[in-house]
Amino acid sequence: MVFIKERCNFCGECLVNCQYIDLNKDQAIEEMRNLVEKGDSFILLECVTCYACNEYCKAGANPFDLIAKLQEINNSLGLSDGGKKMLEKQFEPYEFTLDVKNEGPLMSQCAFLFDHKEFFEGKLFENLTLIGGRSVFCNLIYLHTEQYSLIKTRAPMIVSNVEKALENFEKKELICFHDECYAFFNKYAPEFGVEVNFKVYHLFEYLFNFLKEHEDQISPLNMKIAYQRSCSMRLTPEKDHFLDKLLNLIGAERVDREYSGVNALCCQAPLMGLLNKRKLGRENQRKNIQDALDAGAEAMIFICPTCYDTLKKRCEKNDLRAIFITNLCRMVLGEIE
pLDDT above 90 (res 53): yes
Q: Which long-range contacts (CB under 8 A, 24 or more apart) does 42-45 make?
A: 43/15, 43/67, 44/70, 44/71, 44/74, 44/76, 45/76, 45/77
pLDDT above 90 (res 1): no
In-domain check, residue 80: no
In-domain check, residue 46: yes
pLDDT above 90 (res 114): no
Q: Quickly state the pLDDT bin for 101 (edges 50, 70, 90).
A: confident
**pLDDT at 99 (0 to 100):** 84
Same domain, residue pair 30 and 124: no
Same domain, residue pair 103 and 166: yes
Same domain, residue pair 203 and 219: no
Same domain, residue pair 63 and 106: no
Domain finish residue from 154, 183, 207 = 207
The 10 Å Cβ neighbour count of residue 131 is 21
Give the domain range for residue 18: 5-74
Same domain, residue pair 264 and 234: yes
Same domain, residue pair 11 and 57: yes
**pLDDT at 102 (0 to 100):** 87
- Taking all residues of the chain, what is their mean pLDDT, rounded to a whole number? 95
State how far the alpha carbon of 142 is from the alpha carbons of 69, 77, 109, 126, in Å. Answer: 10, 12, 18, 32
pLDDT above 90 (res 296): yes
In-domain check, residue 143: yes
Same domain, residue pair 159 and 230: no
Same domain, residue pair 126 and 152: yes
Could you give the CA distance from residue 180 to residue 212 in angstroms, rounded to a whole number?
Answer: 24
Same domain, residue pair 38 and 11: yes
Residue 173 phi/psi, 5° resolution? -135, 145
DSSP state of 265: P
Same domain, residue pair 224 and 291: yes
Same domain, residue pair 128 and 21: no
3-state secondary structure of 108: strand
Helices assigned H by DSSP within the chain: 13-16, 25-33, 43-46, 52-56, 63-74, 81-90, 123-126, 148-165, 179-183, 189-191, 203-213, 240-250, 269-272, 278-294, 305-317, 325-332
Cβ contact 10:32 at 8 Å: yes
Q: Looking at residues 156-161, what average pLDDT do you find?
A: 97
Dump pLDDT digits (tens) for 199-254. 999 999 999 999 999 999 999 999 999 999 999 999 999 999 999 999 999 999 99
Q: Which of 80-89, 189-198, 304-313 has the lowest mean pLDDT?
A: 80-89
In-domain check, residue 318: yes
Q: Which long-range contacts (CB under 8 A, 24 or more apart) does 255-258 make?
A: 255/224, 255/225, 255/226, 255/292, 255/295, 255/296, 255/297, 256/295, 257/226, 257/291, 257/292, 257/294, 257/295, 257/297, 258/291
Could you give the CA distance from residue 84 to residue 48 in angstroms, rounded to a whole number?
Answer: 18
Query: Which residues, 6 or more positions from 135, have their beta carbon under 8 angstroms from its beta carbon?
Result: 93, 94, 95, 96, 158, 161
pLDDT above 90 (res 190): yes
Cβ contact 230:269 at 8 Å: no
In-domain check, residue 79: no
CATH of the domain at 246: 3.40.50.1860
Q: Looking at residues 259-267, what average pLDDT do you find?
A: 96
Give the containing element (helix H, strand E) for 217: none
Same domain, residue pair 200 and 219: no
- Work out whether strand 129-131 and strand 106-108 pair parallel, antiparallel, or are unpaired: parallel
In-domain check, residue 110: yes
Could you give the CA distance from residue 137 to residue 114 in angstroms, rounded to a whole number?
Answer: 13
Residue 170 phi/psi, 5° resolution? -65, -45
Counted domains in the chain: 3
In-domain check, residue 337: no
